[in-house]
């Protein structure tokens, strides 16, 4: 079955978002950049929306890379349980609460989170789920009622 390349490209957008966050946090740990507050705020807003069950909020773009079905699907694959999502949200919140965190382990935990998201996004891009063939009867019925 065919897959939609435009939809698949959403996985690459998410992977790039993660890569940039990993780079920013890594540079912060090395002392070559400031703490990436804005990036983490967008991530926290996105994670909170998922936790609240308000995935449609992503249409308002709280995080640029988290605005499509494909990206939400990837997040749901990474956070299989509400506890995993709670942990990610807690770690991100703690990191943001400390404007200049010195605990490298906390920063590494967020880097691991972004790494897992990036890996899943790239996997989904490389191994996309096939799109089902359209139901022609349903299309015809819709056209008749329109």
Q: Which residues are within 8 A (CB) of 21 and not within 5 positions of it... i.e. 6 or more apart?
A: 36, 39, 40, 43, 110, 114
> pLDDT tens digits for 77-134?
887 777 777 777 777 777 777 766 667 777 888 888 889 989 998 998 888 665 555 5
| DSSP SS3 for 117 | helix
Q: Which pLDDT band, with edges at 50, 70 and 90, does 61 fall under?
A: very low
Domain range enclosing 64? 5-145
Q: Look at residue 142 and tell me whether its pLDDT is greater than 50.
A: yes
Number of domains comprising the chain = 1
What pLDDT sits at residue 99?
65
pTM value is 0.68
Report CA-CA distances (Å) from 42 to 38, 64, 104, 130. Answer: 6, 8, 21, 30
């Amino acid at each position: 079955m065919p897959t939609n390349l435009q939809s698949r490209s959403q996985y690459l957008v998410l992977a790039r978002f993660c890569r940039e966050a990993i780079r920013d946090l890594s540079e912060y740990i090395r002392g070559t950049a400031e703490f990436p507050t804005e990036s983490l705020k967008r991530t926290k807003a996105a994670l909170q929306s998922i936790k609240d069950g308000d995935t449609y909020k992503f249409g308002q773009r709280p995080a640029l890379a988290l605005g499509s079905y494909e990206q939400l699907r990837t997040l749901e694959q990474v956070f299989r349980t509400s506890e995993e999502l709670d942990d990610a949200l807690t770690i991100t919140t703690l990191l943001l609460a400390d404007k200049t965190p010195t605990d490298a382990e906390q920063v590494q935990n967020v880097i691991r989170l972004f790494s897992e998201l990036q890996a899943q996004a790239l996997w989904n891009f490389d191994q996309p789920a096939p799109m089902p063939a359209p139901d022609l009867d349903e299309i015809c019925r819709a056209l008749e009622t329109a």
